[in-house]
Amino acid sequence: MTFKNQVIYQIYPKSYLDTTGNGVGDLRGIISKLDYLADLGIDMVWLNPIYPSPQRDNGYDISDYVSIDPVFGTMSDFEELIQEGKKRGIDFMLDMVLNHVSTKHEWFQKALAGDPYYQDFFFIQDEPTDWVSKFGGSAWAPFGDTGKYYLHLFDVTQADLNWRNENVRKELFDVVNFWREKGLHGFRFDVINLIGKDALLKSNPVNEGKPEYTDKPLTHDYLQMLNAASFGKDAESVTVGEMSSTTIDNCILYSRPDRQELSMTFNFHHLKVDYANAQKWTKSPFDFAQLKHLFHTWGEKMSEGQGWNALFWNNHDQPRAINRFIDYKNFRVKGATMLAASIHLSRGTPYIYMGEEIAMIDPDFKSMSDYVDVESVNAYQALLDAGHTPEQAFEIIQIKSRDNSRTPMQWDNTANAGFSTGTPWLATGNHAEINVENEQSGEVYQFYKQLIQLRKSDQLISDGTYQAAYQDAEHIYAFIREFEGRQLLVLTNFSNQVIDFELLADFVDSEILINNYATHQPNQLQPYQAIAFTI
- DSSP one-letter code for 115: -
At residue 58, the pLDDT reads 85
Name the average pLDDT for the chain: 97
Examine the residue annotation and report whether 166 is marked as an active-site residue of this protein: no
- Quick one: CA torsion of 300, 236, 78, 358, rounded to 10 degrees? 40
For range 277-298, the mean pLDDT: 96
Residue 208 CB partners (closer than 8 Å, separation 6+):
131, 132
Phi then psi for residue 312, to 5 deg, are -160, 155
Q: Binning pLDDT at 50, 70 and 90, where does residue 1 land?
A: low
**Per-residue model confidence as pLDDT tens digits over 471-516:** 999 999 999 999 999 999 999 999 999 999 999 999 999 999 999 9
Nearest CA to 465 out of 347, 345, 307 is that of: 347
Residues of the chain with pLDDT > 90: what percent? 98
Angle (CA) 323-350-358 rounded to 5° is: 45
Examine the residue annotation and report whether 190 is marked as an active-site residue of this protein: yes
200 burial type by CB count under 10 A (0-12 exposed, 13-18 middle, 19+ buried): exposed
Element (H, E) at 397: helix 390-400
CA distances from 94 to 49, 190, 301, 437 (A): 7, 10, 29, 28
**Per-residue model confidence as pLDDT tens digits over 342-394:** 999 999 999 999 999 999 999 999 999 999 988 899 899 999 999 999 999 99
Domains of the chain from N-terminus onward: 3-100+166-366+405-455 (3.20.20.80), 101-160 (3.90.400.10), 367-404 (no CATH), 463-534 (2.60.40.1180)
- Number of H-type helices and E-type strands within the chain: 16, 20
pLDDT over threshold 70, residue 119? yes
Phi then psi for residue 530, to 5 deg, are -130, 125
Q: Binning pLDDT at 50, 70 and 90, where does residue 20 land?
A: very high
Task: Check 242, 261, 373, 458 and give the catalytic one.
Answer: 242
**Per-residue model confidence as pLDDT tens digits over 333-355:** 999 999 999 999 999 999 999 99
pLDDT over threshold 60, residue 149? yes
Q: DSSP states of 47-72 as a string?
A: EPP-S----TTTT-S-S-TTS--TTT
